[in-house]
Amino acid sequence: MKKTFEAIIEKMIFLSGIASILFVVLIFIFLLKEGLSLFATVNPINFLFGKNWYPISDPPQFGILPLVLGSLLVTFGAIVIAVPLGIAAAVYVAEVAPLWLRDILKTGIELLAAIPSIVLGFIGVVTLAPLLKNVFKLPSGLTALAGSIMLAFMAMPTIVSIIEDSIVSVPKSYKEGSLALGATHWQTIYRVTLPAAASGILAAIMLGIGRVIGETMAVLMITGNAAVIPTSILQPVRTLTATIAAEMGEAVAGSNHYYALFAIGIILFVISFIINLVADRFLHKK
């Protein structure tokens, strides 16, 4: 009696274990189911490399190049801002800050992580965008740059905590060895500690990229929604994620527009899969 009960529970435990695989497969299948339907009528090459995203014009055009470039531009900008800042903040918190300050700073970063992205998007629209508009004398502050800055903030907790963990797990003996040879604390940090934490830093960058590429609502609100190929970072752009969010409401189920948005979903799914796998490799390289 008890044995059968236990056998049932253990079966359920096993099934729960493989549930994750099931869900990944399901997500992929459902994305494919709708997304691939697009390519019955639209050439994949035109989809991937087409320069015009006019889904509601007649005839509609589904080229995602402007969206891809929009995502890349915003992501690149965010990483350029977030990585140096993140490394600096992580180093400060892990190595330099006095103990009492360390807890305050870590709490501050955890608070940042807890703020929902929609809130950050809203704050960005009301504070950052007008600021950029004034500083750069633009018609509107809703630009790729605004998006990059907000996304850099959103990625910061991820980046800082991973780098901080990496720094902390560098063996103390390395640091002590360097100091014993007469190096200053700072010299030890940039010559010994940081290089030793390199794989963690790379992982943080990758995960930061993943976080940023996948962000939807904040970019939707703050990057201006212009699905054109960007020529400068002070322009409005449209990302892959924002496109889905903005247009799915209007796309008729079963239309090419609907399929095209799912097709974008496939691309996002594949990109994030690769990024996260690579990041995991780096994290476990130690």
Partner 1 sequence: MDSKRTEKTAFIILLLATILVIVPVALIILMVLIKGLPALTGEFIFGMPREGMRAGGILPAIIGTAFLVLGTAIFCIPLGIMAAVYLNEYAGRNWLTRVIEIAIINLAGVPSIVYGLFGLGLFVTFLGFGASILAGSLTLAVMTLPVIITATREALIAVPRSFREVSFSLGASRWQTVRSVVLPNAIPGILTGAILGLSRAAGETAPILFTVAAFYLPRLPQSIFDQAMALPYHIYVLSTQVPNVSVKIQYGTILVLVGMVFILNVIASIIRARFRKRKTW
Question: Which 53-82 positions form the footprint of partner 1 (CB under 8 A)?
Answer: none
Instruction: Choose one: 10-18, 42-50, 165-173, 228-236; the region binding partner 1 (CB under 8 A).
Output: 10-18
3-class SS of residue 53: strand
Single-letter code of the amino acid located at 178: S
Of 112, 131, 179, 228, the one binding partner 1 (CB under 8 A) is 112
Of 78, 111, 110, 82, the closest CA to residue 233 belongs to: 78
Kindly tell me which of 55 and 86 has the beta carbon lying closer to partner 1.
Answer: 86
- At position 209, the amino acid (one-letter code) is I
- What token pair was written down for 48? 């991937």
Q: Is 261 in the site for partner 1 (CB under 8 A)?
A: yes
Q: Which of 47, 62, 259, 262 binds partner 1 (CB under 8 A)?
A: 262
Q: Is 249 in the site for partner 1 (CB under 8 A)?
A: yes
Give the 3-state secondary structure percentages of the chain, helix then strand then coil, rounded to 5.
75, 0, 20
By CB under 8 A, residue 34 contacts partner 1: yes
C-beta of 219: minimal distance to partner 1 in Å?
10
| Closer of 42 and 128 to partner 1 (Cβ) | 128
Burial class (CB in 10 A: 0-12, 13-18, 19+), 218: buried
**Rounded to an integer, what distance in angstroms lies between the CA atom of residue 286 and that of residue 282?**
8
Binding string to partner 1 for residues 146 to 185, with x set by CB under 8 A, is what? -------x--x---x-----------------------xx
Closest Cα partner for 10 from 2, 24, 25, 22?
A: 2
Q: Which of 1, 4, 17, 100 binds partner 1 (CB under 8 A)?
A: 17
Interface pick for partner 1 out of 80, 115, 181, 198 (rule CB under 8 A): 115
Q: Which amino acid is at 213?
A: I
Residue 97 tokens, joined: 């800050």
**Least CB distance to partner 1 at residue 231 (A):** 26
> Would you say 65 or 248 has its CB closer to partner 1?
248
229-248 binders of partner 1 (CB under 8 A): 241, 244-245, 248
What does the alpha-carbon distance between residue 115 and residue 30 come to, in Å, rounded to a whole number?
Answer: 31
Binding of partner 1 at residue 203 (CB under 8 A)?
no
55, 257 Cβ separation under 8 angstroms: yes
Size of the site for partner 1 (CB under 8 A): 80
